[in-house]
Homo-oligomer: A and B are copies of this chain.
Amino acid sequence: MNHFAEANHVASAVAPALGNQFIVDLYDCGCERFDDLEWVEGVMVEAAQRAQATIVDVVFHKFSPIGISGIVVISESHLAIHTWPEYRYAAIDVFTCGEILDCEAAIAHLGAAFGARQRSVVKVARGAMEIIKRRTPSNPYLAPTSAG
């Protein structure tokens, strides 16, 4: 069951866009190392690698008494995670620009690693070209591409 199925449909209708953001909710996670900072960081880094992303920076923090927040900055945007071990729940974002990354491989890895028995994945288009072309018909910069 996908609670956000309708939102997914809305997002899909907005393509093409500069980037795509996958909003991943992992519920009822059975993994035993859910509150292990090093393990969670490793899972997220491997997810970025499986997506074929270029990692720029990795920042993870553990909170008291439990809970982890972490970001993997990639050239193509970022992966983010926030965990609530007491609820066996993790909120993950996989945000990428360009079409070359394998986000599905990253998301499959995350679901398997955390042992999620229920998940919700919503794809949201970011930077609708329809709006950009209407609002900024003339390009103020010479360079046609940028990171994001």
Contacts and interface: CB of A to CB of B under 8 A. Distances in A.
Contacts of A10: 4, 6-7, 10
Interface string A130-148: 0110011001110111111
Interface in A58-74: 59, 61, 63-69, 71, 73
A60 to B, nearest CB: 9
A44 interface: no
Interface residues of A, number: 63
A35 B98 CA distance: 20
B73 A73 contact: no
Given A63-B146, A75-B63, A146-B63, A132 B19 contact: no
